[in-house]
Every structure is written in C-alpha cells, then in structure tokens.
Amino acid sequence: MSKAKFKSGFVAIVGRPNVGKSTLMNHIIGQKIAIMSDKPQTTRNKIHGVYTSESMQIVFLDTPGIHKRQSKLGDYMNTTALNTLGEVEAVLFLVDVAEGLGGGDRFIIERLKGVGTPVILVLNKIDRVEPEQLLPIMEEYRKLYEFAEIVPISAKLGNNVNTLIEQIGKYLPEGPQYYPEDQVTDHPEQFVCAELIREKILHLTREEVPHSIAVTIEDMRVQENGVVYISAVIFVERDSQKGIIIGKRGALLKEVGKLARQDIENLLGSKIFLELWVKVKKDWRNQERILRDLGFHQDA
C-alpha cells in the first residue's frame, strides 16, 4: 500500500474585525503568535502561522480585519487583507454567528466574488448560540455566495477545529514542507515581542489610545549572564496619550512590562530584561514615511 503524499499550501483567514481570526490561528498553532484583544482592528500585519502534521503543512495568513478606512493605516490594512486572497490555496471567511450577518460581511463577500480561490465559510463562536439557530444562519450566507465548505466552530473552546483542518486539507496540493515541523511562524522574534507588548497595552487602556500606538524593538541581544536584553519604544500620537500609557507614577507602564515579560519569556524560553520607552510621533497613522519606518509596507 503506497504512502499518502504530503500536502502543503497557504491559507488566508479573512473576516470583519474582532470575529476571532487570531484566536483561531493561535489555537491551531498551539502557541500565541497573533495578539488577541476585545478591541477591533488588533491585527495590523499579515501574521504567518505554520501548522504541521504527518500528512500536511498549512501556512496561515491572519490578515487585518477588513473595515471602513479612517486613516492611511486603515488603507494599508484593507489592501493587505484583500491582496492576500490571490496568493493562497484557500480562504477561510470567518464570521461571528452571535452577531449575525452584517454590512461588513456583505462587503467582504463582494470582494470574494472576484477571487477564484475556494472559500470556506467558518461560523465562529457557536458556543454563544443555540444549535437550532445554526441552520438558518448557514442558509442566509449560502444565498450570497457559493462556499466550497461551511464549518461551524468555536475557536475559543476548540470545538470542531480538527474538522476544519481536515476540510482545508482537501484543497491543498501535493507539495514540500516549507518550514521545519517545530517552527510556528516566519516572523522574526522581534516582531512577535513587539506585538506581545502592544497586546498588553490594548488590554490595559481604553477609548482612543489603542489604535494610536505602535511598538518597535530598538535593541535585542543576549547578555553575558544569558539574560536577553530588550529595549522597546511605544509610539503614541499625542502628549496626553503618553501620560496615559505611563500612568500615575509609572504604574501602567510597569504593568505592561510585567505582563509582556511573562509572555516573551515563554516565547523565548529564557529570562529577559525589558526596558520600555514612550515617545510621541504626532499623527503617525497618516504619515507614509513614519508608517514605512514602523514596518507598514503596502503590498506590491
């Protein structure tokens, strides 16, 4: 009996902001590489996550949530998400069944109609609705687009995620193993560290601050004692936001550092010394040069 051929390919995860794209990818990968927050538009870059089993390797692209733009950064996020669709073997269109079909979903479906790639509709957050509600929801989406598959899941609880992986496998061609089996992302460690710091700020702040921040790693090196030294800069748009991030007597910034340090030590598997700085770059989200400096490059 001949051995089954190994399959591999690239799969994009698209959907409105805050429908659980990063939660799903982190669950599949088994490690946090995409940051999670209850605030929309958390993901700004395509995050490459790698899932490897004995029979296949899936490289996931977790795209920014497609949304109505409000800045040049918003343009970048939408363009990044939409350009991804032509580069992959399959597209996962993730929706929140608890919220129901909305204008944002219709907007994305219209964009999907111009793509020849198979689209799998993933009905997420099924733990938040009654089972009998699922069939009418499926029918509602099916009327708008001919999906290759429809798979209900709970990314948070892991319900039916293995079935989703099996369905994705049907659309992958025979191919090579692009990454070693123990590699879960192709992003450099600096990128993931910066994202983990940004995640903690998102959790600890509110209102206008979250979307006004960017984080860069200025220095990262192993010291003689084996501790990894990391110096990170948190950019904000206004002086008032700088005060919020630092907090009274530096309390909020210390809490960001404490929480981020725990995740980064888990990621790197070693002790770290983390220094955080807060700087003001006025209106950086609308300045192309600053966006390029911070790593937001428009796809060609």
Question: SS in 3 state form for the chain?
Answer: CCCCCCEEEEEEEECCCCCCHHHHHHHHHCCCCCCCCCCCCCCCCCEEEEEECCCEEEEEEECCCCCCCCCHHHHHHHHHHHHHHHHCCEEEEEEECCCCCCHHHHHHHHHHCCCCCCEEEEEECHHHCCHHHHHHHHHHHHCCCCCCEEEECECCCCECHHHHHHHHHCCCCECCCCCCCCCCECCCHHHHHHHHHHHHHHHHCCCCCHHHCEEEEEEEEECCCCCEEEEEEEEECCHHHHHHHHCHHHHHHHHHHHHHHHHHHHHHCCCEEEEEEEEECCCHHHCHHHHHHCCCCCCC
- pLDDT beyond 80 at 225: yes
| Res. 161 pLDDT band, cuts 50 70 90 | very high
Residue 27 included in any domain: yes
Closest of 189, 235, 229 to residue 212, by C-alpha: 235
Within this chain, do residues 28 and 164 fall inside the same structural domain, yes or no? yes
Residue 1 included in any domain: no
Mean pLDDT over each residue of the chain, to the nearest integer: 82
- pLDDT beyond 50 at 22: yes
Residue 177 included in any domain: no
pLDDT for the residue numbered 290: 64
| Res. 32 pLDDT band, cuts 50 70 90 | low
CATH of the domain at 240: 3.30.300.20
Among 25-34, 140-149, 170-179, the range of highest mean pLDDT: 140-149
pLDDT for the residue numbered 186: 65
- Ligand-binding annotation for 22, yes or no, is yes
Rounded to 10°, the helix 161-169/21-29 angle is 80
pLDDT for the residue numbered 38: 46
- Ligand-binding annotation for 47, yes or no, is no
- Ligand-binding annotation for 137, yes or no, is no
Q: Which residue has the higher pLDDT, 146 or 282?
A: 146
Within this chain, do residues 132 and 219 fall inside the same structural domain, yes or no? no
For range 73-78, the mean pLDDT: 56
pLDDT for the residue numbered 149: 96
Minimum mean pLDDT range among 25-39, 187-201, 274-288: 25-39
| Res. 77 pLDDT band, cuts 50 70 90 | low
Q: pLDDT (tens digit, 9 = 90+) per residue, 244-292? A: 889 999 999 999 999 999 888 887 778 999 999 999 988 777 767 666 6
- Ligand-binding annotation for 45, yes or no, is no
- Ligand-binding annotation for 86, yes or no, is no
- Ligand-binding annotation for 125, yes or no, is yes
- Ligand-binding annotation for 62, yes or no, is yes
pLDDT for the residue numbered 97: 95
- Ligand-binding annotation for 131, yes or no, is no
Within this chain, do residues 149 and 23 fall inside the same structural domain, yes or no? yes
Q: Which residue has the higher pLDDT, 73 or 178?
A: 178
Within this chain, do residues 77 and 115 fall inside the same structural domain, yes or no? yes
For range 43-70, the mean pLDDT: 71
> What percent of the chain stands above pLDDT 70?
78
pLDDT for the residue numbered 50: 87
Full residue range of the structural domain in which residue 134 is found: 7-171
- Count of structural domains within the chain: 2
For range 129-135, the mean pLDDT: 93
Q: Which residue has the higher pLDDT, 286 or 108?
A: 108
Residue partners of 6: CB distance under 8 A and separation at least 6: 55, 56, 57, 174, 175, 176, 177
Q: Which of 136, 171, 206 is the last residue of a domain?
A: 171
For range 104-123, the mean pLDDT: 89
- Ligand-binding annotation for 124, yes or no, is yes
Within this chain, do residues 283 and 195 fall inside the same structural domain, yes or no? yes
- pLDDT beyond 50 at 43: no
- Determine whether 159 is exposed, middle or buried from the number of CB atoms within 10 Å of its CB (0-12, 13-18, 19+): middle
For range 225-233, the mean pLDDT: 91
pTM for the model stands at 0.62
- Ligand-binding annotation for 17, yes or no, is yes
pLDDT for the residue numbered 44: 46
pLDDT for the residue numbered 241: 87
In angstroms, the CA 195 to CA 191 distance is: 6
Q: Point out which residues pair with 121 in neighbouring strands.
A: 93, 150
CATH of the domain at 90: 3.40.50.300
- pLDDT beyond 60 at 208: no
pLDDT for the residue numbered 36: 47
- Ligand-binding annotation for 160, yes or no, is no
